[in-house]
Structure 1
Amino acid sequence: MKDVQHYVLDLPLPAQVFFTLVETTAVLVDVSEKYWHAQGLNGARIRILVELMKEGGTLLPSRLAQKIGVTKANISLLLTPLENDGLIRRDAHPTDGRKSVITITREGQSLLLRHLPANRQQIAQKLQALDEQELHQLLALLQKVKNR
Structure 2
Amino acid sequence: MKRENLPTWQELEAHKKTIPEIHPAAVIAMLEIKQAAEDIQASILSVLQRDYHLSEGKFCTLIVLHQHPEGITPSTLAEKVGVARATISTMLQRLERSGEVRVEARSEDGRGKLVRLTSQGRAFMQEVLPPHYLRVSKLMEKLTQAEQEELIRLLRKLAGD
- Give the TM-score taking structure 1 as reference length: 0.83
1:30-109 equivalences under 5 Å are: 30-42=42-54, 43-109=56-122
Per-residue deviation, residues 51-98 of structure 1 (Å, max 9, x unmatched) = 112233411111111111111111112212211111110011233433
Question: In the superposition, relative to structure 1, how do residues 140 and 126 fare at CA in structure 2: closer, same or farther (>3 Å)?
Answer: same
Name which one, 1 or 2, has greater alpha-carbon Rg.
2
- Structure 1: runs of 5+ lacking an equivalent: none
In the alignment of these two chains, the number of paired residues is 142
Distance 1:94 1:141 in 2: 44
* Equivalent residue, structure 1, for 2:128: 115
Matched, 1:140 2:148: no
1:2-41 equivalences under 5 Å are: 9-10=11-12, 12=23, 13-41=25-53
What is the deviation of 1:147? 4.1
Does structure 2 conserve the Cα–Cα contact (< 8 Å) formed by 1:89 and 1:104? yes
Coordinate RMSD, CA, aligned: 2.1
Percent identity of the aligned residues? 22
* Equivalent residue, structure 1, for 2:139: 126
- Give the TM-score taking structure 2 as reference length: 0.77
Structure with the bigger RCO (C-alpha within 8 Å, sep 6+) is 1
Distance 2:35 2:83 in 1: 21
Does structure 1 conserve the Cα–Cα contact (< 8 Å) formed by 2:69 and 2:116? no
SS in 2 for 1:94: coil
Distance 1:55 1:143 in 2: 24
Distance 1:112 1:41 in 2: 13
